[in-house]
Amino acid sequence: MTKIVKMEGYEIHHPKTTLKNKVGTSGGISLKEMEQRMAKKMAGLTEEFLAGIPAVIKTIETSLTKLEKGDGGEPEQTLLFRQGHDLKGMGGSFGYPIMGTIGEGICELTSRDFKASSLSLPLIRIHLDLLTYVAAKRIKDDADPNAAPILAALANARLK
């Protein structure tokens, strides 16, 4: 039964079971079981992240193409920056730091320090192409044999 404490006109409900009871040594799940459950949850979230990458690529492609044709401006630049920023944060979080590095590059190339008309569109295009390749091959990090040319291309795809 839930314990209810009345205090200064408020009711505080204390549940019968607490987290400590659930993970304690008696009657709760073990640390190993918790780790297994979390690994399974993270694997599911990682798959969701990867399933969302084609939409990110399409968004970047659409905005970049508008800019390349001269039909885009600040809204497309902002959208490119936002997509890069999301990749930068989520790539590493989900075990794909190369995607994070690509996202970081997109952020640097589309920051507010630049006017939309003076963006280095060919460099942004290189980052998009690299992202497409990395996503297709599911290259996670520099331990992957396919990573070396990607990392070299990223190192060279910087503003001088």
pLDDT tens by residue, 27-63: 667 888 889 999 999 999 999 999 999 999 999 999 9
pLDDT higher at 4 or 107: 107
What pLDDT does residue 17 have?
Answer: 65
Question: Domain containing 55 — which CATH number?
Answer: 1.20.120
Cα–Cα distance, 88 to 86 (Å, whole number):
5
As for how many domains the chain has, the answer is: 1
Residue 97 in contact with residue 140, Cβ under 8 Å?
A: yes
pLDDT at 25 over 60: no
Can you tell me whether residue 13 is helix, strand or coil?
strand
Which amino acid makes up residue 10? Answer: Y
pLDDT tens by residue, 120-135: 999 999 999 999 999 9
pLDDT tens by residue, 64-89: 999 999 998 999 999 999 999 999 99
Could you tell me the CA-to-CA distances from 33 to 36, 42, 54, 57, 92 in Å, in that order?
A: 5, 14, 34, 37, 25
Count of all residues that appear for the chain in the document: 160
What pLDDT does residue 124 have?
Answer: 95
Domain housing 48? 3-156
pLDDT at 23 over 60: no
The alpha carbon dihedral of 95, 59, 122, 124 has a sign of negative
